[in-house]
């Protein structure tokens, strides 16, 4: 039940990635000229850099100014255009967003569900899944969403927004949104591009506000991640979130009585189901002396561990942290 999370600013490739608007300067030789020399190494080198640049800038890594990946920004922009105060079917939102995002409805739907599960920018209605159990959301035609009051207040301002043409030139979309709040810290982000990866952990909304006030006053402050799944953290090697920092996250285990333990909170990125499987495997290997595991998780995590007779609850807790 220990989980080490490494927080990385990014791992850049050896060669500098070309800008978003740059293109390969490779010019193919005349294929009918028998004496022509085809320089394949140069061709693939330039094409790969173009591809890497596109993936980094347009798919996987959030922009530092608004903390959003392109698909997230386009979803919010579409929801703003559709906003009339009422809920919209997610299927309709996905269809509208496809005017700006050319990578398919599945990627838009998944990104929208993830935004909704963070319960910050989107007000949801229906079965949006459960991050504690790992249950998936219902189909887009069944669930509904609208922008939250927080999003309407802090994310949009057409007068200060820079615009660009959409991929087909028929519409305009924001380059970045003029967000008044550090969404990148609040929501966190994780993405793997080409030669670069990003992993930023989520933080507590109130902690961010307090840290911002202290920063503006010139006072020192500490800001540590906070997770929607709960758990406790060891931030002794966090290194202020810079590259190489390690954060150890542990589940919260309580004693119900001398024969029963209860897990109330799970580590970030884990679910009650995955934790139960890990405990079951440890029991099968003889690492834990647990008679029965009951997963009673619903709106809150509750996994009951019934110990075998004569087993120490304190030693079992230590073994849980060591072997699961």
Boundary of a domain, candidates 160, 176, 192: 176
The enclosing domain of 93 has a CATH number of: 3.90.199.10
**Residue ranges in the chain assigned as alpha helix (H):** 40-55, 70-82, 90-97, 105-117, 149-154, 183-187, 205-216, 272-284, 313-323
Query: What three-state secondary structure class fits 268?
Result: coil
pLDDT digits (tens, 9 = 90+) for 251-292: 999 998 888 999 999 998 899 999 999 999 999 998 989 999
Cα distance between residue 188 and residue 57, in whole Å: 17
Domain count of the fold of the chain: 2
- State the catalytic residue, choosing from 26, 44, 54, 142: 142
User: Residues 28-69: pLDDT tens digits?
Assistant: 666 667 676 666 666 666 777 777 777 777 778 888 899 999
Q: What is the CATH number of the domain that holds 259?
A: 3.30.1360.40
Give the C-alpha distances (Å, rounded to integers) separating 268 from 136, 168, 233. Answer: 17, 39, 10
Q: Give domain status of residue 200, yes or no.
A: no
> Two tokens at 16?
């500098």
Domain closes at, from 176, 193, 219: 176
From the CB of residue 205, how many other CB atoms can be counted at a distance below 10 Å? 14
Q: Can you give the pLDDT at residue 164? A: 94
Q: Report the pLDDT value the prediction gives residue 195, as an integer from 0 to 100.
A: 76
- The answer on 118 and 267 residing in a single domain is no
What pLDDT does residue 43 have? 61
Q: Give domain status of residue 185, yes or no.
A: no
Catalytic annotation present for 142: yes
Q: Which domain holds residue 315?
A: 251-323
Give the domain-ending residue among 176, 193, 208.
176
Reported confidence tier of residue 27, pLDDT bands at 50, 70, 90: low
pLDDT of residue 20: 43
């Amino acid at each position: 039940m220990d989980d080490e999370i490494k927080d990385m600013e990014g791992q850049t490739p050896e060669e500098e990635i070309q800008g978003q608007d740059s293109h390969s300067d490779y010019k193919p030789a005349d294929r009918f000229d028998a004496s022509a020399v085809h320089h394949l190494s140069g061709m693939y080198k330039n094409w790969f850099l173009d591809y890497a640049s596109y993936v980094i800038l347009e798919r996987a890594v959030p922009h530092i100014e608004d903390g959003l990946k392109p698909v997230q920004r386009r979803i919010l922009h579409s929801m703003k255009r559709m906003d009339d105060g009422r809920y919209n079917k997610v299927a309709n939102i996905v269809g509208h967003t496809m005017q700006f995002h050319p990578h398919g409805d599945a990627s838009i739907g998944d990104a929208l569900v993830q935004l909704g599960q963070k319960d910050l920018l989107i007000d949801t209605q229906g079965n949006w899944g459960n991050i504690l159990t790992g249950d998936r959301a219902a189909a887009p035609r069944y669930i509904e969403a609208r922008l939250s009051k927080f999003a309407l207040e802090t994310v949009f301002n057409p007068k200060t927004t820079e615009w660009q043409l959409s991929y087909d030139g028929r519409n305009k979309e924001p380059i970045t949104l003029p967000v008044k709040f550090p969404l990148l810290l609040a929501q966190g982000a994780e993405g793997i591009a080409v030669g670069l990866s990003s992993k930023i952990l989520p933080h507590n909304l109130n902690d961010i506000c307090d840290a911002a006030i202290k920063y503006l006053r010139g006072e020192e402050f500490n800001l540590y991640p906070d997770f929607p799944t709960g758990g406790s953290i060891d931030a002794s090697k966090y290194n202020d979130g810079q590259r190489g920092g390690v954060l150890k996250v542990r589940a919260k285990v309580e004693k119900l009585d001398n024969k029963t333990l209860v897990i109330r909170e799970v580590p970030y990125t884990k679910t009650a189901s995955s934790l139960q499987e890990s405990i079951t495997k440890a029991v099968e290997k003889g690492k834990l002396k647990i008679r029965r595991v009951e997963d009673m998780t619903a709106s809150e995590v509750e996994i009951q561990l019934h110990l075998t007779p004569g087993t120490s609850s304190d030693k079992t807790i230590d073994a849980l942290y060591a072997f699961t």
